[in-house]
């Protein structure tokens, strides 16, 4: 179960984890299983955990005043799921995170992660690198959304995340891309011609 997490960490650090460091990580990350549609975090709750997805798929979304869901993130294996703002500021989350498929996670509290980072300095390196990649990806997504047509957005998404196309239904992908389900359907039909 923890092998995926240890492998993930080792790909981001310059020195591989020692056996003692691996044992500390295993001891601090707890297993959690979610059924499809079960919440990991609900709007209004403070985010207490970060979850590393071992198996399954999840989504992070916000529901507007009209009851429309707006997908912020889609997650699959080897992704981290949490609301960073809520966890850091200890404020109520504006988002829901739930399992789109039956999902297995390894979870850790922010306090336990901070403690681990003091004991295992290479985790600081991993966090810095993953934070940089996430910031760049979010900036690119925003820029791409603002400056490209729906067709280009879908083409880029499908090229970079083909596994998402297989795992998530059209209405979630459309919401993530900021387009209507009908527009996405039209784009997909044109692509198959």
**pLDDT tens by residue, 96-132:** 999 999 999 999 999 999 999 999 999 999 999 999 9
Print the domain residue range for 112: 3-119
| Assigned domain for 47 exists | yes
Q: Name the CA dihedral angle for 186, 167, 92, 108, rounded to a multiple of 10 degrees.
A: -160
| Assigned domain for 30 exists | yes
- pLDDT tens-digit readout, 172-181: 999 999 999 9
| Assigned domain for 74 exists | yes
| Assigned domain for 184 exists | no
| Assigned domain for 49 exists | yes
* CATH code of residue 64: 2.60.120.10
| 57-80 mean pLDDT | 96
Query: How many domains in the chain?
Result: 1
Q: Does residue 191 register a pLDDT over 80?
A: no
| 161-175 mean pLDDT | 94
| Assigned domain for 68 exists | yes
User: Which has the closest alpha carbon to 93: 131, 139, 134, 60?
Assistant: 60
Q: Which residue in the block uniquely carries the two structure tokens 């071992």?
A: 54
| Assigned domain for 20 exists | yes
Q: Does residue 193 register a pLDDT over 70?
A: no
Q: Does residue 93 register a pLDDT over 90?
A: yes
| Assigned domain for 180 exists | no
pTM of the model: 0.92
- How many Cα atoms occupy the beta-carbon half-sphere of 92 within 13 Å? 6
| pLDDT score for 58 | 98
């Amino acid at each position: 179960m923890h092998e995926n997490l240890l492998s993930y960490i080792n790909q981001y650090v310059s020195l591989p984890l020692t056996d003692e460091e691996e044992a500390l990580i295993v001891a601090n990350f707890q297993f959690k299983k979610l059924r499809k549609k079960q919440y990991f975090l609900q709007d209004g709750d403070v985010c207490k955990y970060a979850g590393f997805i071992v198996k399954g798929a999840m989504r992070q979304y916000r529901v507007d005043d009209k009851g429309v869901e707006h997908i912020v993130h889609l997650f699959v294996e080897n992704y981290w799921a949490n609301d960073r703002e809520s966890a850091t500021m200890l404020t109520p989350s504006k988002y829901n995170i739930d399992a789109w498929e039956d999902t297995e996670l390894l979870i850790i509290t922010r306090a336990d992660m901070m403690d681990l980072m003091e004991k295992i300095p290479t985790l600081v390196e991993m966090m810095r690198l993953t934070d940089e990649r996430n910031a760049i990806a979010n900036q690119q997504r925003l820029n791409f959304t603002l400056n490209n047509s729906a067709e280009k957005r879908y083409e880029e998404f499908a090229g970079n995340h083909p596994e998402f196309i297989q795992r998530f239904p059209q209405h979630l992908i459309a919401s993530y891309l900021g387009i209507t389900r009908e527009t996405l359907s039209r784009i997909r039909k044109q692509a198959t011609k």
